[in-house]
Structure 1
Amino acid sequence: MLFILFLWIALAIVVGVMAKGRGRNGVGWTVLAGLISPPVAGVFLMSIANRSPHASQPIPASHIDCPLCGGRILREARVCRHCGGDVTQALSQADPAVVREGYWFDDLNPSVELKRTAGRVARAQAQPPWLVVDQALDSIVIGSRWPGQLWRVRVVKLGDMSGLVADPGYWRAVTVELLDELPLSVLFGPQGEAVLDIIQKIDTLTRAQAQALADNVPRDAWMAYSRAWMRWSRQNEAGEPGAGDADEWRGVLAASRRGDKARSPIHSGFLLIHSQLRQRAARVEGDGAFILVEEDGETEQTLNPLWQGACDALLFAAMARAAPQYVSDDDALTLTQAWNRVFDAAPPRA
């Protein structure tokens, strides 16, 4: 009889330990098991929910990493419980059989923490800012990120692709494999060396040279610049652009073209020239290089007439020298007049 009593108590304690491991009150379940029956209490315990925090820990056979945020989710899940992303679509995009090769512009920004190993670059954590891999050279946007390095890469691990339009023309990547380093000139098309030449001149541009550029811009240069933009925008359309459309292209640095993701006749070249000239003007003349313009209740800082004229002259030269296929012979002379007089450059046409 004494043996049965000890066994009963021991089994009740076992039930209590099991209950504690399942997030329940161990003492309470020990007492309950002792009062009713340890086997009955044990069966009842195993039939109710497991409240242990360890119960929600995924096991490899039933869980996978979300391809969007990296959180652990059930293998059959369609929506990630962490980020709310469409897991089904992301997994189809993350098909390892799909090879994603494109172009990555490395601006060598020290504030962005990257892991650089032999032949690979990765974000330190799987979160923005992602490594943006463009599918074509003509869609790369540089802005003020200059200079840097241009690579042809293969996407090893995708980042979060949720929230993007269909076929955005680029991938967000966590890890890329470096395939080839490319010359920066290819960023601006077949005649990209001409854009690099202009950028180099901007690096050492003086105020006197800026003034000379502005003074030598022909009055009808904007019309020639606009005509080149219109030829580019209608490259796949028949007929010459009409003069009545020219005003729409005045001051344009980037635009969309039907049928592709190109941003200009020299890709991101105009945007880069503009941003580099602004930086040079600020270094040479400080705040005096800019004026404040108020429009619709908002104040915008723009280049003063001298530096704006110099910027226009460089944009015109870039159009004629780097995109000659869109410029007539007469317009080429107009667009390069200021450049040729200041830098004694050779004529762009034979």
Structure 2
Amino acid sequence: MPFFAFYDAERFHGDPKPRPGVRVSFMPDKLAAARERAARTGRPDDLPSVGNEGLMVNEIATDVPRWPSSLWRVADLEPMRPIPAFRWLRCRAFTVTEEVPVWLVAGPHGEAVEQVIDRTRTLTGAQADALAALPDEGEDPLKRTLWARWSRDHHSGSPVGCALTTLHQIIADAAWQVGPHLFGPDEEDGVEVLKDPAWLSAFGAAYAAALAFGNPELLAPEENAVLTRRWTTVFGTPDLPPRQPA
């Protein structure tokens, strides 16, 4: 059963808001108003292109392109056009069946990945320094190994869905709260990007931990321990509720 990811009211161009049992319909006027606001502010936006309107639905949760605020299973899709060969489509309407945990966008072990994301959102300068002060030996080759093993059966995407791009954005947001002195111009386009070595190292620790927690079956336990060592030294292991037997 496919998934609809809700982000916020600004990015939602339907009515009513998702909840179990309701029929949600695409509202072209909402999208038109969002485009007008984007044109006035001059800010980059992620609005669907002309000809690609509708409510985006993903067949697989890990294909959701960014971390949502809520995630819903939907049924009775009314596609805007014939269903394409890829794993998402735009709909005129769908029926909401149930709300499911947001962390499913990072895969079956996404609950631990979500805890890494939540910690990173509120990362402090002291915590970034603590992560950076720990040795990162062994992380890079193990990350390459994990990616290679995952890629044998996957030709696109990420081992933890949108979690890695989410981490990239939220660590920059957390660093900006500490101060703009942590940023500098990108050499290619001149935009301000995170440059501080300690914060970049902290991002590396979060990235490695997300990969290992999200894919424990791809590496041996001792290899996973290397990938998560810096993260767990500072924050401990994820506190997860016991899983129900399958």
TM-score normalised by length of structure 2: 0.77
Whole-Å separation in 2 of the counterparts to 1:111 and 1:189: 24
Q: CA deviation at 1:335?
A: 1.0
1:198 to 105, 108, 116: 116
1:103 aligns with 2:14: no
* Aligned partner of residue 159 in structure 2, secondary structure: coil
1:288 to 178, 181, 184: 181
Whole-Å separation in 2 of the counterparts to 1:175 and 1:185: 24
Whole-Å separation in 1 of the counterparts to 2:126 and 2:172: 16
Corresponding residue number in structure 1 for 2:243: none
Corresponding residue number in structure 2 for 1:122: 25
Whole-Å separation in 1 of the counterparts to 2:92 and 2:182: 40
Corresponding residue number in structure 1 for 2:104: 186
* Aligned partner of residue 174 in structure 1, secondary structure: strand
Corresponding residue number in structure 2 for 1:344: 236
1:314 to 202, 206, 213: 206
Q: CA deviation at 1:137?
A: 1.6
Task: Assess if the C-alpha contact under 8 Å between 1:217 and 1:309 holds in 2.
Answer: no
| Letter paired with 1:110 | E
Q: Any gaps of 5 or more consecutive residues in structure 1?
A: 1-100, 236-256
* Aligned partner of residue 86 in structure 2, secondary structure: coil
Quote the sequence identity (%): 27
Gap change, CA 1:176 and 1:167, over 3 Å in 2: same
Higher relative contact order (CA 8 A, sep 6+): 2
Whole-Å separation in 2 of the counterparts to 1:323 and 1:135: 21
- After superposition, residues 65-214 of structure 1 pair within 5 angstroms as 101-110=1-10, 112-116=12-16, 119-125=22-28, 129-142=53-66, 146-160=67-81, 166-214=84-132
1:216 aligns with 2:128: no
Q: CA deviation at 1:231?
A: 0.9
| Letter paired with 2:86 | P
Q: CA deviation at 1:136?
A: 1.3
Corresponding residue number in structure 2 for 1:11: none
Q: Calculate the aligned-residue CA RMSD, in Å.
A: 2.5
Mark the structure with the bigger radius of gyration.
1
Task: Assess if the C-alpha contact under 8 Å between 1:103 and 1:153 holds in 2.
Answer: yes
- Runs of 4+ more than 6 Å apart: none
Whole-Å separation in 1 of the counterparts to 2:81 and 2:192: 35
Q: CA deviation at 1:180?
A: 1.2
2:193 to 273, 279, 302: 302
Gap change, CA 1:300 and 1:326, over 3 Å in 2: farther
* Aligned partner of residue 205 in structure 1, secondary structure: coil
Whole-Å separation in 2 of the counterparts to 1:170 and 1:204: 32
CA offsets per residue over residues 210-231 of structure 1, 9 Å max, x none? 1111221413311111111011
* Aligned partner of residue 10 in structure 2, secondary structure: coil
Corresponding residue number in structure 2 for 1:231: 149
Whole-Å separation in 2 of the counterparts to 1:284 and 1:215: 18
Whole-Å separation in 1 of the counterparts to 2:143 and 2:13: 41
Q: CA deviation at 1:186?
A: 1.5
TM-score normalised by length of structure 1: 0.56
Gap change, CA 1:203 and 1:153, over 3 Å in 2: same
CA offsets per residue over residues 45-96 of structure 1, 9 Å max, x none? xxxxxxxxxxxxxxxxxxxxxxxxxxxxxxxxxxxxxxxxxxxxxxxxxxxx
Q: Any gaps of 5 or more consecutive residues in structure 2?
A: 32-47, 239-246
